[in-house]
Structures are given as C-alpha cells and as structure tokens.
Structure 1
Amino acid sequence: MALAKWYKIDFHTHTPASNCFLDKNISADEWLEAAKDSGMNAVVITDHNSVGFIRKIDCLKNKYENHDDFDPEKNFKVFYGIEVCVSAAFTHILIIFDDSLTTNEIEDAVIKYLGIDRNNWGNTEKYISENELKDLYMELKDKVFVIPAHFASNKGLAKANINTIKNYQEFIHFSAIEVRNEEDIREYENKLKLNAINEAVCISGSDNPSNKDATKHSVEGFGKMFTWIKLSALNFEGLRQVFIDFENRALNWLEIKKLGNKFNPNDINYNYIGGICLTNFSHLLDINLRFSPHLNCIIGSRGTGKSTLVNAINYGLDSNLDLNKCKVLKNTMKNGGGIDIYFNFGNEDPYQITSRKEKGNLEYSYENKSGILIDPPEFKIDFYGQKEIFNLIEDENNINENIKSPLLQLIDDKISIKLYKINDSIEQMLTELLALSEEYKNNRNKITKLPGIKAEISKVTSILKKYEESNIKNIRAKKDKIYNINEICGNEINESESCLTNIADSLQIKIDDLEKKLVVDEDIDKLICDDAKNILSDVKKSYETVKKTINQEIDKIEKIGLQLEKSNIVKEKNEIDVQYKMALEKVKNTGSEDIETLQDKILENKHQESNLLDIEKQQIVIEEKINSTISKYLTARLDLTKERANIIKSLDLDSIKIEIIPICHKNRWKQSLQKELGKENVFDNEFEKLVEFILNDDAKFEHYKKFIFFLLTSKNGNISDFCQSISDPRFINIWTTKQNNNTLNSIIKVIPEDMVTIKISDKTGDIDINEGSPGQKSAAILAFIMSSGENPLIIDQPEDDLDNSLIYNLIVKSIRKIKNKRQIIIVTHNPNIPVLGDAEGIIILERENTGKIYFKNHKKAGCLEEKNIRTGICEIMEGGESAFKKREEKYLYK
C-alpha cells in the first residue's frame, strides 16, 4: 500500500557532464552513493545543456533506488532532466523528463527539439531559442516539467524584461519556480501581480556547489538546499500532483529554514489511528490496513463494507459501546472474529487494542511495547455516523437528547482543562448564593417574631406604666432599701452566731479529745506521767474557759436578734409591705411576683427586639452580598463565554461565521425550567413569557440577575410579583409551592446556555443554518466539526445530507486546512472530497466475484498520483472526472 508521505528532493544537481563540475573523475557509482548519503530521497540531474551522464546513471540506479512504504527515509530516486540556456540572454531553464521515458528517448528529444547535438552537450556558450523550447514543450507537454531556475539570480528569468517573460506564457505553463533567496520570492510575486507569469509552486534545489569554489559543482553540495514534497510514490506522476496541488504538497528551502533545520513534516504531534486489522467477518476477506495521519477517504459502491470498517474502528476503541446497537457489526462479525487497532499518541510507539467477539460481546485487551496493559489510557476519537451530523442541529433544542447544546459541547471539548476551572468557579458562586439565601431566609423567619415581641413589650409597658403611676415604683424602691438594711443586719447576726457556734463546737471536740489523752501509759516513769497529765489538764481548762466565754457571747447575739425584731427597721419593713400591697391592688390586683415576672420579661423582650433589629440590618448587608455574588457569578459565567469565543476565533474558518451569544439559548432554558419544575410540555406560553422577559437581550443581564435575586430572597415565591405579565394562578401556584417546600432557590442551578449561531457566507450574503436547507446545515456543521477538535475524526457518509454546491467551499477547504493538524477518516461517495481534498490515503473497496469484500484490484491504499486510484474514483464515484477537471482548474490554472 502507498500512503502519501513527505520526501526530501534536490531539484537542481549537476554531474561531471557539466563543464563546471569540479572533479571530472567522479564515477556514476560515486555520484549516486554521494547523492543517496546526502539524506535526500530524490535528486534531479540537470546538467548544463547536457544529458550525457544519465546513461551512466541509468545503468546503476537500480542498485541505489529504493521504495519503502513504511520508512520514507529509506527511499531514493533519480529523476532525469537538463538545465538549458534559452535565448541570447542565456536564461537558465530546468526541464524534468517523465521517468517512463528511456535514456534514448530523452537524448533524442534534446537533439531533435532543442537542437543540442552531442558535440555541444555541456557547452554553456550554446543557447537554444524560445521556439526550440516551445517545440519540445508542445511535443512532450505531458512528459516534461519546465521550471525557471534561480528565478531572480544571475541568468534567472526575472532578469529578462517584462514582455519577454510574458511571451513565455503564450506557449508554456511553468510547472514550478526555483527560488533560493528572498529576492527570488519577491521578484516572482511581483511578476505574478503583473500577470507576467503563471502561478506555480516555488521549489528549491542546491545546484550542488563545491566547498572549495561555490561557482563550481561537486558531490559535496547535494542537499545544501532542498524541497520537502508529499506524495505516495517518488515518480513523475507524483511530482505532477505536487505541482498541481502545491499548497498542500511542497515546502521550499526558505519555508524550511523558518521552521528550523530539524523540522520533519513526517513527525506527528497529534493522536492518530495507525492501522486496523479485521478478521473473521462474514462478508469481508481479512483486512489489514494502514491509515495516513492526515486525510483518509474510504470509497466504494453501495454495500462494499465501508460502514463496517469505520464502525469497527469506533467499537474497537471504545469498550463502553454496546455491540447490540450496531447491527452492521453484530450481524457480520462471527464469534471469534477480531478487530485490532493501532493507536498512536503522536510519535510514540503505537498501542494495539484487540477486541474479540465472544458470546455476542466484545472482549478487549491492550498492549504496547511494554507488554499487556491492565490500565490503558483513553483512546479518544470523534465519530459521526450518517445522520449524527444533521442531528446536531435537529437535536440542538432537545434537552432530552442532549444535556448540553451539542454545538457548545463541540467547543467545550477544546477547553476541557479551562472548563473545569471555570465550572468550579461557577459552582462555588452558586454554593455561596445558596448559603446566603439560607441565611437570609432563616433571618427572615426570626424577624417574623419581631411584631409579636413589640406587641408584648407594648402590653407589658402599659402595665408597668400603671405600675409607675401608682407610685409603686417609689414604694418598691423604698421597700428594697429597707429590705436590704434588714437583710444586712439579719445576715450579720446569723453569721456571727453561726461563726461562734462553730468555734464552740470545735472547742468541745478538742476538750473531748484531751479527755482521752489524760490517760498516760503506766510503764513510763510516774513523774513524767504526772507532768503530762498536769499540762494536758491545764490546756483542757483553758479550752473550757474559752468555750464558756463564747457561749456567753452567743447568748448576747441571740438577744441582739430579738432586739432587731423589735427595732424600727422591722417596724418600717412591715409598714412598707402594707403600702406595697395597696399599690399592687391599684395596678390590676397583680401580685408582687407577677410584676417581677413582667419586669424580667420586658428586659428579655427588649433584648430579643434589639437582636432582631440587628438582624433586620443584617438583611440589608446580606442582600448586598447576594447582589455582589450574583455579579461575580455572572462574571464567571461570562468567562466561559469568552473562552468559547476565543476557540471560535482560533478556528480560522472560511465561508462560515460562528458567533457565541452569551446566556441566550431561550428554547433550551425554557425546557430546562419546565423539567426542573416537573412541568414538561405544560404551560408553554407562560414559560415562554417568563423566559422572554428574563433573557430580553439586555447586555447587562439585569432581568436575569433580578430573577436570581427573586429565587434567593422571595418571601412567598409569587412569580407574578417578579414578572407582571404572568397571571395564570395555576402557573403561579407552581412557584409558590416550590417556595413553601423551600426549594425555590435551587432553580438558580438551571443556568441558561450560550447560543451558537452559524451562518454560511457566500456571494449572496449570510444564511443562518437554522433557516438553511438540510444540506446546508450539514455542510456548515461538518466544517465546524472538522475545525473544532483534535481527536481523530471519523465520518460515515456525510454527503447523504450535504449540499453539493457547498462541498468545496465548506468541506474541502476545511479538510485542507486541518488535515495536517488532526487525522480524518471519511467514508464518502463524493469525489470532490478525496480529489479536491488531496487525500493522503484513498481506500477503494469492492465486492469480489466470491461475494466477499476486499480492496479493489487488491490494492490496499493509494493516492491520486496512482492510476489505479484515479480510475477507481472515476468508475465508482459519479462526477469523478469532473472533480479532477475542477481540481486542475482550481490548483493548476488558478
């Protein structure tokens, strides 16, 4: 199989056949070996006015030439050409000959049409006329490429006057322009603007200069300048495809220098599917297929297994898919049948994902160079079946089919890391708002007690006012003072009596204890015993004397107590009690205990009133916090919109305009509110009124912010208080019930989505895809899909709904832009996609005489430069020939 890859080619080299080649003794063997060792995959021999060395090369080139589908670095090819001097200005022109021409045919053509006989080969003083160049071109038009050499340098075509350059265009179409410096580029672009020359690919060749003398040629100079070209086979037809579709297939030396000398376009830094093997399918021969990391087109007549192939990729990579939902695999894959997929993470070694059908289900295993893996990475792809692309638009407004807008999901997949952070911020703001709401509602519940407390204070105050009017306050104050004096005197008498009593009791314990100690052990000397007894007896007498004195003082204290009872203090106390009771009678016959309770109660109520008044003040602060947090939430929410808009800007889309309109997807939000409130498909008019009122295209989202505030702080949940156009009592009851259940504030989590608007731009203006045909919708969405992701993209027959007039303007342009940034595998019946998209891998399937499906002509894959592929496209795909003609019109003759 031959997939397109990048190869290094030196378009301008010389051999000893050029008079200015330094070492004439270099053999063809040495020349070929040096050319191959230079790292070039191909060189073009372009000796000055000579093809004299190519016969020597031709005898040996099979020894050196090589083509390896798997390793492009091993490939090597020699193309034959000539560098002729044209006109008296000796303008240098390169001619490359078709590799199907023999050396005899090339030599004869140089002699016959260019008029350079063997005697003049290598003679740089000889020049050919423009007519002789024309003769060769007209005779061998399809078998030669004509290229102005070193365009603006010495003897370059740009040195000629403008009319001379224009004359060439009357009989020749230059296949390419050789450039080596910025001056070459500038001069070519100037001539192009003046319509003096046709548009063509700019290529570079080294002129293999000698290290000793740059004006001479040597094998040392191979590859000093070169061009990267992309093709599936290093042959003349491959070069033709490079020159036709050069914007996608060639990088000249000046472009390479900007990218860095180590740049290799074959290095892939994105994930791609390297290949697939299918075994034991009922309708397929066993398939072993490699894919290009770029654009792969699978074509074939109806019923040739194209959908089987792409569905096998989808199910072979994703173990979460239910095989029962894919009839094409379920019915055709036999038990024991297998799908092996090779998945590459950039340039890393591929992972092999193996799935085998066992008892109706797929069993998976994973392997890389380390061996069998228990915990493999995720193998992400973007897969779209025949109707899924169109359904992205049709299901855009159906929240039951998609929790999030499908178009937004495509964008959000590109900002997944930032999305987590932004969503965390949004969630944090919502959590804070709900906490503030709960605090606000709890405070409000507490504040509801304030009127009752104020009423109680008023009632008690009224009673106490009568209390004060009865002079009870003064009487009570006097009473308190007298009671206080009486209490002080009584307490002191009691405490002194108690204290003396305690001392007397303590002395009695000491006396009793000494009584026991007067008994002394007889074994001790009598004199000692007598002394001890006398001492202890004297102590006892002292204790008894003190006790007697204390008892006498206790008697005196008791007399003092009797004195208090008969004192004016007690007399005044009794009189004030009578006055106090009389005053209480005047206040509602309330007992003294009730008044005390009331006084305590009013103090308590006033304390509660003060706290609740503070809470009322707090409510204002909480409301400010709620509004402030709503603004922060909205800022976080709009940050998400900005990130989405940045992604759209980065897509660099042609022919379609995509805009992210913040927080305005009314239809989806209406459905989400209905679902949240348990009223799906009910009260449509009322919900529509509400949504229109809230999302009223106000750039500051004031109504939306007020709606959130209403949800968080409403006392009764009456939605008509917020939106006066709502009047249906049944609809209002939905909201009040939510409030009564304390769940109204949870609705803030039903967030309005951004809306993605897509317009198709053409000469007639912009068409909103919602107003376009199904084909226009699908074309626009497919272009968007291609540009909005990085995973391998697999699409199964999108053109069933595509508008053919938009295939090129939308689909092909998108493919050409992104196929070097992400892999595309597409099943298609439209020839414009593989032809104008310049597919790097074209797989043609057909049903053989046995009824089994296999590759057409047993060729697994190829590119447009291969005749079998071009023929297959024309045979199978309606409009195939017109696609090739359109391709030449757009790229070769634009």
Structure 2
Amino acid sequence: MSNLYISRVQIEGGFLDGLDVSLKRGLNTIIGARGTGKSTFIELIRYCLDVKGHTVESNNKAISHAKSVLSDGQITVTICDGSETVSYTRTGESEPVPPINRDLKTPLIFSQTEIENVGLTSSGRMKLIDDFLSGLDTIRQQEYAEVAIVESYASEILSLSSSVDDIEEKLLMLPKLREEMVLLELEEKKISGISEIAKTKSNDLNKLSETYFNLKANTEKNHKKIEAINSFKGYLNSFLIGKQEMEAWVLSENPSDAEICDDLNSVSNYITSIIAKFDSLMNDVSNDLSGLQNKMQDVTKQGQVLRSDIDKIQEGAGELARKRQALQQSIINLENVKINNSEKNVKIFDLKSKRDKSLKTLCEIRKQRSDMRVAKCSELNQALKPKIKVSIEVANRLDEYQQVLINALKGGGIRYNDIAPIISASIPPVVLIDILESNDLDGFTSLVSISKDRALKIINSLKQSTDKIATVLLEDEIKLELLDGSEYKDFTSLSTGQRCTVILPIILEHKESILVVDQPEDHIDNAFIVETLISSITRRAKDGQIIVSSHNANVPVLGDAETVIHLNSDGTRGYVIAEGGLDDINIVCSISNVMEGGRDAFNRRAEFYGK
C-alpha cells in the first residue's frame, strides 16, 4: 500500500467510548478544551498501530497512558490508500490484529513532550533524520548479518590466537632442549671413551676371576692334602698306640722273643720320624694354604673394586641413554606442535582475510546509511535555510565504542572510566584491532601516552573483546542549529520555544508519511505559527495526511483543514460535539468558541487589529 492515510478511527470502551470519526488525506485538526481527550485520541492511534515512542521513556509513558484510558475497550484504526483498506484492532491486553506488516509505513507520531525534547539527545536527533529514510530496516538487517559474520570470524581468530600464543611460550623451550641434546651427545662421547675403560676393567675382572678360581682349586687341593696327612698320621699314631700292647704281650707271653720288642722300637722310631716328616709337610701345606687364602682375599677385593667401577659406568650410561631418549621425544613433540602451530597461523591468516572482507562489507553498509543521512541533511538545509541548519558528522559518536572498551577492561585492575575515553578518542577500532593482534606495544604507546607496563596490561585485557571492538558502531552525530539574530545557536542551548521552532519544520518536511502531532503550537508565538508552521502544513498537506491536535485557531483556519473534530468532556468521558470541514457552520462555531473565546471576543480582537 502507498499514499496511505488514516480514514477512520473507532473506539469502544474507555474514556472515548463510542468515538467514531472519519479523516481525510490533508490536514485534520482535533480541537477542544483541555481534558477533552485530544492527546488521548492521538496516543490511542499510536498504541493501535504499535508506533514506538521516540525515546524509551516516552514509549513506556505512551503505552501506559493508552492502556489506562482504553481500559477494557478496544480501538480500531482503518488505513486506506484510495482503493484498498486495512483495519487494525487492539485491546488493552493484546497485540494489534491483524499483526502490523513490517512493510507498512506507519505514521510518524509526536507528543507535545517529544516535540520539546526529541532533539536534546543524539539518538533523538538521529531518529528525526532516519524517519525520513526508506530501506533502513533492510540495511539494519544486512548490518546485523555482517556483524554476526565478523564476530564469528573474530571469535575463531581469538580462540586460535590464544592457542598459538600458549604454544609459542612452550616452543621457547625448543632451543634450550636442543642445546641440552648437544650436551648429552658430548656426554655420550665421553661415556663411549669410558666404556673402553669399562671393557678393560671387565677384562681385568675376568682375569681376576680366573686367578681366583685357580687359587680356589689349589686351596681345595691343599685342604685335601691336609686331610690325607691327618689320615696318614692317624694310621701311624694307631700303630704307635698298638706297639705298646704288642710289646706287653710279647714280654708276657714270649720273653725269649725280646728281639721283637727291639724291632718294634725300631719301627716305632721310624714311624715317629715319618710322623715328624708328615708334620713338616703339614706345616708347608698349611703355610701354602694360608698364602692361597690371602691371595684369594686380595683377588676378591680387587674384583669388588672393578665390579663397582663397572657398575657405576654402566649405570651412568643407562641414565644418560634414558635422558637422551626422553629429551629426544620432547623435541619431536615440540617440533610436531610447531608444525601444528604453523598450520594454525595459516588458518588465522585465512580467517583474518575473510574477516577483513566482511568488515569492508560492513563499513560499506554503514557508509550507505551515512550517505543517505548526509543527503537528507543537505536536502533539509536547502528547504529550511537560512533559519535552521541541519548538519551531520559521520562516525563521530564514540559512546558505544567507549562502552565496549569499558566492558573489556572491567575486572583487570585498570581505571577503565579514565582510560576508555582516551583510547576511543585516540585509536580508531580498526587500528586498535591491528595493534591488539600484532601485540604492537610501541604503536599503542605512540597513540596513548601511558607507560608500557600499563599499555601491556590494557592490550591483554582488550584482546578478549576483539570481536566487539571490530564491529562496534561509530554512530553519526546530527547537529541542529537555529539562526538567532546573526549567529547560529546549537539546539541544546535553545529555550523550549526555540527548540520547537527547529523541530516542527523538520517534522513537517515528511512528505510521504502520515504525520500525527499533538499540540505543536505550545511554547511558540503566533508569528512563527503563521509565517512558518502554517506554510509548512499547507505545503505538506498536498502530499500526505496530517492529524494535529491544537488550541490555536490559526492551525485549522489558515492551514485550510479538510476535517475538524471538536471534542468535549463531561468529566467521565470524552465525545465528539462536531465533525466536518471549515464550511460547516457547526465547525465555525466550534472554532470561534473553543479557539477564539467566542464570537464577541473574536470581533473585539478584529476591531482592535483594524485600528
């Protein structure tokens, strides 16, 4: 639907119960004394069509007011384009039925308070301009989609970069491990030389073992000799003992055989000499055995020393081999990690390329919106000059950027409220991303005059929010000025009346939207109403519908209203007294009585002005 206008408003229940009025394409004026429901009429239209307020506060206030005056009733607003009509109905507890189509260009609605205050905030001034522009929803959807893509890339880059940084710290050990490996290899060469010594000692030990076994064999032979000598001596001593018995027997039995005793004595002496020789031999064998045993002890001690030396050499070689194996495995693992890190760096580079491409697209989308705003501001300047000046500073608002920095710095022991404004004013987000990703400490301190220690702490804190920093919106700033004498004054320094004289002409430049304004003449003088406001209304009425509630007769009369609706109230509800065009006698009477103080008052003023 195009060339829309509100053709009918019906209210059931609540303060305006029973109201049913028809509206025209041009200027429609709602008149009546205070408390008759003029503002309520406008706010119920806003509520039914789900038109948001220009600030969060005004939006909440409008919804609360509408629900209160509607009570358990409902409002129906019919929108027409000349051939097709759609009626929207809403109760105090429901959403509009049918749902508001996103493509529907809903009315621009301004309460008296919004007219006075909408230009005091950056967001309010921006909304004044954006309300003129079509296609912003599409741009906003494209922007959100691209932001999501950029943040996704940035998050993946951050995750991979953190992993790479952690591994890079471990890789710092690789040169040291390689140095240790060189030292171990030198130790191995030394061990190789020592092994020759161990081999020699082993040969010596083998020889000692052979000597030991030879000594042991000789010792055993000597033990056997001693056993044999002792055995032989036993035999000989047995004879000597038996000799006495033999002598006694011979002498007692055969005294004549005394020669036998002599022979026995001779044999006994000979045996005694043999025993003496055996004793001498025993002494020699014992001495030889003692010598052999001493030699065995010496050989054993030498063998123990050699075995200890050999064991130490072998133990050192084994420990060295184990160390070398463990060190070699660590080096291999780190080299594999290094390869993996290289692959991650390649992936990071690829992700950054994709992210930067998406960032470029995001910047182009935002530039498209800014270009539309610049063009609109230029158009408004042409229409409203020289009295009113509308200018734009592209990407000049830093509040969102500052908040992203503050959120990132919280909890890091940093005075974020002091440093965030300095960073946002000194380093654009794109430059800051490059600094963070390259750990460019010098670059950071060249732009922000702080110590390197503090800068490093800030960089480490901000790294975790590169996704938000990359996509943060530097919003445009709209500046409104009013020519006061020979100088332009900024909007924020104007009085309430002066602010209205700036906002109303801007609002009335909307040519294609339904415009609904509540009591625009408050705080402004009749001269401005006649010279500026009325001319804007009459010029615009040819292009689009205007619905205005007013106390000033100049608005409907000089504005050539198509329809005037006169509301009254009995204190409990508001109702329509008269409805029609300026040629309707009832409307003439209503305007005279409500807005001019009656016909007599009007005639007296006319007489005064005619003097």
Given the two structures, how large is their TM-score scaled by the length of structure 1?
0.44
Q: For 1:706, give the aligned amino acid.
A: V
**Match in the other structure for 2:68:** 330
Whole-Å Cα distance in 1 between the matches of residues 561 and 367 of structure 2?
40
1:712-731, Cα deviation, whole Å (9 max, x unpaired): 56599x99747534579999
Q: Describe how 1:623-634 pairs up with structure 2 within 5 A.
A: 630-634=359-363
Equivalent residue for 1:799, pick from 492, 498, 521: 521
CA distance in 2, matches of 1:820, 1:406: 24
Counterpart of 1:860 in structure 2 is 579
2:420 and 2:533 map into 1 onto residues whose CA distance is 39
Residue from 721, 746, 754 that aligns with 2:468: 746
Q: Distance in 2 between matches of 1:817 and 1:862?
A: 19
Shift of 1:860: 0.5
Cα RMSD (Å) of the superposition? 4.8
Indicate which of 429, 445, 448 corresponds to 1:724.
448
The residue identity in structure 2 corresponding to 1:440 is S
After superposition, the Cα gap between the structure-2 partners of 1:630 and 1:416, relative to the gap in structure 1 and judged at 3 Å, is closer
- 1:351 maps to 86
Deviation of 1:737 (Å): 5.0
Paired residue for 1:641? 370
2:537 to 804, 815, 818: 815
State the shift of 1:364 in Å: 7.5
1:292 to partner: Cα distance: 1.0
For the residues of structure 2 that align with 1:324 and 1:638, how far apart are their CA atoms? Answer: 34
1:294 maps to 26
How far apart are residue 303 of structure 1 and its match?
A: 2.5
Instruction: Tell whether the 8 Å contact from 1:410 to 1:789 is kept in structure 2 after alignment.
Output: no
Distance (Å, rounded) in 1 between the aligned partners of 2:321 and 2:376: 81
- The whole-number CA distance in structure 1 between the counterparts of 2:96 and 2:348 is 61
Give the distance between the partners of 2:335 and 2:376, measured in 1 at CA: 61
Equivalent residue of 2:580, what SS? coil
- 1:76-475 aligned at under 5 Å gives the runs 269-279=2-12, 286-318=18-50, 326-327=64-65, 330=68, 337-344=73-80, 346-355=81-90, 361=92, 366=97, 377=101, 380-396=106-122, 406-407=127-128, 410=131, 415-467=136-188
Cα deviation 1:827-868 (Å, max 9, x = unaligned): 1223443344333222233458x997554xx530213x5565
Offset from partner CA, 1:410-461 (integer Å, 9 cap, x none): 3566522233224433443343333333333332222222211221122113
How far 1:463 sits from its partner (Å)? 1.9
- Shift of residue 395, structure 1, vs aligned partner: 4.0
1:783 aligns with 2:501: no
Residue identity in the other structure for 1:303:
G
1:688 is matched with 421
Identity %: 21
What's the offset of the Cα at 1:599?
Answer: 4.8
- Alpha-carbon shift at residue 710 of structure 1 (Å): 3.9
Partner of 1:876: 594
Q: Distance in 2 between matches of 1:806 and 1:662?
A: 32
What is the aligned counterpart of 1:840 among 562, 584, 587?
562
- State the Cα distance separating 1:621 from its structure 2 match: 7.5
Relative to structure 1, the CA distance from residue 881 to residue 597 in structure 2 (aligned partners, 3 Å threshold; closer, same or farther) is: same
What displacement does 1:277 show? 2.7
2:384 maps to 1:654 = yes
Superimposed CA distance per residue, residues 20-43 of structure 1 (whole angstroms, 9 cap, x where no aligned partner): xxxxxxxxxxxxxxxxxxxxxxxx
Does structure 1 residue 708 correspond to structure 2 residue 436? Answer: no
1:323/1:330 contact within 8 Å kept:
no
What secondary structure does 1:860 align onto?
Answer: strand
Q: Which amino acid aligns with 1:343?
A: I
Tell whether the 8 Å contact from 1:440 to 1:622 is kept in structure 2 after alignment.
no
Which stretches in structure 1 are left out of the alignment for 5+ residues? 1-267, 367-372, 476-580, 695-702, 886-894
Residue 397 of structure 2 aligns with which residue? 665
Contact 2:181 2:324 in 1 (8 A): no
Aligned equivalents of 1:753 and 1:830: distance in 2?
Answer: 39
The equivalences for 1:547-558 within 5 A come to: none
The 8 Å contact of residues 276 and 340 in structure 1, kept in 2 or not, is answered as yes
Shift of 1:611: 5.3
Q: Distance in 1 between matches of 2:43 and 2:321?
A: 94
Q: 1:365 to 1:619 in 2, by over 3 A?
A: closer
* SS of alignment partner, residue 384 of structure 2: coil
Is 1:662–1:754's contact at 8 Å kept on the other side of the alignment?
yes
Q: Answer whether contact 2:426 2:448 (CA < 8 A) is retained.
A: no
Alpha carbons of 1:677 and 1:291: their partners in 2 closer, same or farther (altered >3 Å)? farther
Partner amino acid, structure 1, of 2:119: I
Instruction: For 2:467 and 2:143, locate their aligned partners in 1 and report how far apart those are by CA, in whole Å.
Output: 22
8 Å CA contact 1:470–1:586 kept in 2: the answer is: no
1:488-538 CA-partner distances (Å, limit 9, x unpaired): xxxxxxxxxxxxxxxxxxxxxxxxxxxxxxxxxxxxxxxxxxxxxxxxxxx
SS in 1 for 2:474: coil
Q: How many residues align?
A: 472
Aligned AA (2:68): K
Pairwise CA distance, 1:309: 2.0
Uncovered stretches (5+) of structure 2, i.e. residues with no partner? 53-58, 197-309, 607-611
Q: CA deviation at 1:274?
A: 0.6
Greater CA drift, 616-625 or 647-656: 616-625
Residues 336-358 of structure 1: per-residue CA shift (max 9 Å, x gap): x55333222x23432333456xx
Give SS of 1:293's match: coil
SS at 1:800 equivalent: coil
Q: Deviations over 1:301-329 (max 9, x none)?
A: 32332123222323344499989954476
Task: Say if 2:546 is the partner of 1:824.
Answer: yes
The aligned runs of 1:553-568 (5 Å cut-off) are none
**Within 2, Cα distance between the matches of 1:759 and 1:591?**
85
Look up the SS of the partner of 1:269 in the other structure.
coil
Structure 2: distance between partners of 1:364 and 1:736? 48
* Contact persistence 2:505–2:532 (CA under 8 A): yes
Which AA in structure 2 matches 1:381? P
Counterpart contact for 1:310–1:794, Cα < 8 Å: yes
C-alpha spacing 1:593/1:437, structure 2 compared with 1 (3 Å): closer
Q: Which has the higher contact order (CA 8 A, sep 6+)?
A: 2
CA distance in 1, matches of 2:354, 2:21: 63
* Largest Rg, 1 or 2: 2
8 Å CA contact 1:432–1:629 kept in 2: the answer is no
TM-score, structure 2 normalization: 0.62
Q: Which of the pair is proportionally richer in helix?
A: 2
Quote how far apart the aligned CAs of 1:823 are: 2.2
Paired residue type of 1:829: H
Paired amino acid for 1:837: G
For residues 134 and 410 of structure 2, the distance between their equivalents in structure 1, rounded to whole angstroms, comes to 30
The residue identity in structure 2 corresponding to 1:342 is T
CA contact (8 A) 1:308 1:329 kept: no
Aligned mates of 2:329, 2:94 — CA distance in 1: 80
What is the distance in 2 between the residues matched to 1:629 and 1:281?
A: 53
Aligned ranges for residues 26-37 of structure 1 at < 5 Å?
A: none
Q: CA 1:878 to 1:779, structure 2 compared with 1: closer, same or farther past 3 Å? A: farther
Distance 1:686 1:606, change over 3 A: closer
User: CA distance change for structure 1 residues 458 and 365 in 2, over 3 Å: closer, same or farther?
Assistant: closer
**Is the CA contact (8 Å cut-off) linking 1:786 and 1:818 kept in structure 2?**
yes
